Chains A and B, each alone.
Chain A
Amino acid sequence: DTGVSQDPRHKITKRGQNVTFRCDPISEHNRLYWYRQTLGQGPEFLTYFQNEAQLEKSRLLSDRFSAERPKGSFSTLEIQRTEQGDSAMYLCASSPGLAGQPYEQYFGPGTRLTVT
């Protein structure tokens, strides 16, 4: 049973650089979510996809952030012109996601970003 995977697990970058993270969900799951978790806090919702459609974006997702799920399978999260405040754990989750049904979300191990 393959769970949610994320790559890379750790990323150190200099302020102003662009970074891209990848998430591979559980294969039969059509919903994919991105969350951000800063030290001592719970995860905060960033965005989610139903198949390839991006259905909701948080106000936390500034113009420097973009997410894609081009074929309804894996997803990428890109941060342009990184700032020190972007340092956080970026978590990806997936769920079966039939409309009108609540499902638990399965989380990946996360990508820890450090901006120096």
Chain B
Amino acid sequence: AQSVTQLDSQVPVFEEAPVELRCNYSSSVSVYLFWYVQYPNQGLQLLLKYLSGSTLVKGINGFEAEFNKSQTSFHLRKPSVHISDTAEYFCAVTGFQKLVFGTGTRLLVSP
């Protein structure tokens, strides 16, 4: 079985500050990890993915994440956030078929 825990339901941050959104996973099979972003009343957009290779992955909009197998984590980071980054962020794990999502972290960026 696979599961994802997103430790923070909400993260408030000021514009241009760095941010880290935490994600821990559990899986008994091969692990493939994703971060998606969801803006209000919209579907999910892929930010980045880890399938294999380098444990530091870079995605769109300046986001990056690091896969840490020993800590079973896949935390998302951005060195300087913008107001437009305000959204819900979901971490997800898969074997080869369905995605298993965490409960999400709402990032609130204020001026």
Least CB distance, A65 to chain B, in whole angstroms: 16
Bound together, the chains give a CA A36 to CA B29 distance in angstroms of 24
B32 at interface, CB cutoff 8 A: yes
In the complex, the number of residue pairs spanning A and B with C-beta atoms less than 8 Å apart equals 57
Residue of B nearest to A44 (CB): B101
Chain B contact-residue range equals 20 to 34
> Does A43 contact B49, Cβ atoms closer than 8 Å?
no
Write out the residue numbers on chain B whose beta carbons fall within 8 Å of the beta carbon of A45.
98-100
Write out the residue numbers on chain A whose beta carbons fall within 8 Å of the beta carbon of B104.
40-42
> Does B94 contact A110, Cβ atoms closer than 8 Å?
no
Interface residues of B in 24-70 (CB under 8 A from A): 30, 32, 34, 36, 41-46, 49, 51
> Does B90 contact A42, Cβ atoms closer than 8 Å?
yes
Least CB distance, B76 to chain A, in whole angstroms: 14
> Does A41 contact B43, Cβ atoms closer than 8 Å?
no
Residue of A nearest to B49 (CB): A104
Least CB distance, B43 to chain A, in whole angstroms: 4
Least CB distance, A48 to chain B, in whole angstroms: 6
Write out the residue numbers on chain B whose beta carbons fall within 8 Å of the beta carbon of A102.
30, 32, 51, 94-96
Can you name 27 A-B pairs with beta carbons within 8 Å? A33-B98, A35-B99, A40-B103, A41-B104, A42-B101, A43-B44, A43-B99, A45-B98, A45-B99, A45-B100, A48-B97, A48-B98, A55-B97, A56-B97, A56-B98, A91-B43, A91-B44, A99-B96, A104-B34, A105-B99, A106-B46, A107-B36, A107-B43, A109-B42, A110-B41, A110-B42, A110-B43
Residues of chain B touching chain A, judged by Cβ–Cβ distance below 8 Å, are 4, 30, 32, 34, 36, 41-46, 49, 51, 90, 92, 94-104
